[in-house]
Structure 1
Amino acid sequence: MDIQFNILAWGISIGVKYLHNQKIVHLDLRSENILLKYDEKEKTLMPKISNFLWSREIYPGKTSAYPIITLSSGEEVWKRWYDPDRLRNKKRYDFLPPSDIYSLGLLFWEIAWCKPKNLPFKDVPIKNLYNHLTYNNYEKLPEFPDEYQCWGFLINGMWKLKAEDRCNIMTVELSMRKLFKGTDSP
């Protein structure tokens, strides 16, 4: 892994932390919605979260939206990053920060693999994805060097099936900051 991966993941987690602190959930965190800007001063790519079309203020039990983004094949690709509860509950769904944490875990999985067109669960039809996840069938993580083992632990804590079992954005951001700065202190 490269230090650039840490910069990307940390930058994205800072952005999500900001949104959650403002009581906003993004609801469409995936690689296509992360823009990269080259920072001349730092000599690195800096991530910027984009596409706030489906973002919502957090009012549990009061807001729902169902974006429709399809491929030419008719597949609703956005559902691959959906929180499992959202896959299961088609009629009513509370928008809460753990939804973004699940999607962020899949986004970190994409960063870790760094392969073009590497969709999460690409071999699983979306209609079967919730059942696939209920049997703890998660995406395979790459082999991490010793100094990056916390990536795997963090991602595993982000894509838990039950929202209440997932880590929160403070844990994610702090973990990425520690990894980026190479220290155990915040």
Structure 2
Amino acid sequence: MHVESLNNAINSSTVVAILIASVAFAAIFNVPGQYVDSPSDISPGVSPGQARIAAKLPFMIFVVFDSIALFISLAVVVVQTSVVVIQRKAKKQMMAVINKLMWLACVLISVAFLALSYVVVGKDERWLANLITGIGTVIMVSTLGTLCYWVIVNHIEASKLRSIRRSSMTSGSRSLPTPYTSDTEILNNEHKKLYAV
């Protein structure tokens, strides 16, 4: 992967991490149903400033997953703004780890949203929350499944290329991996393919 592409990917993931952190931070303070603020509305066991839906399980799931997504995104931002990586291989490794963390943050923020949708639609419109959950699950699973597929294919192709290079260097004779392609063509095609990190 070219250094310029790596730098673009790092910059893009920094922007995405900041956006996820902003959304996660804002979501926790814009809770549906608002907060208990009037002294006359406070029931026993409830404190002023507490969310009205705080005792519901979907809200608890929302708070936990939203908080984890927030802290993962902030950690990514801190790493990317603090660590300067010069070497290409180290940049690729850092980008691979950061990408996986961003996948996790996206999944967590999605689960948080889906959990909160069950609170927002209420008991009578539960079918709507189920529909949203189904649509969101299909989209996230297919997206992450496709990305995982490309990561695995990329690693398999990279290991094949390394073994071809090793075998051609050790044998001394330039054996062709397939009847129609040479080592030079394989190396040139390496820069034309899609990289998944």
Same fold by TM (over 0.5)?
A: no
TM-score where L is the length of structure 2:
0.27
Structure of higher CA gyration radius? 2
TM-score where L is the length of structure 1:
0.28
Higher percent of residues as strand: 1
Higher percent of residues as helix: 2
**Greater length-normalized contact order (CA 8 Å, ≥ 6 residues apart):** 1
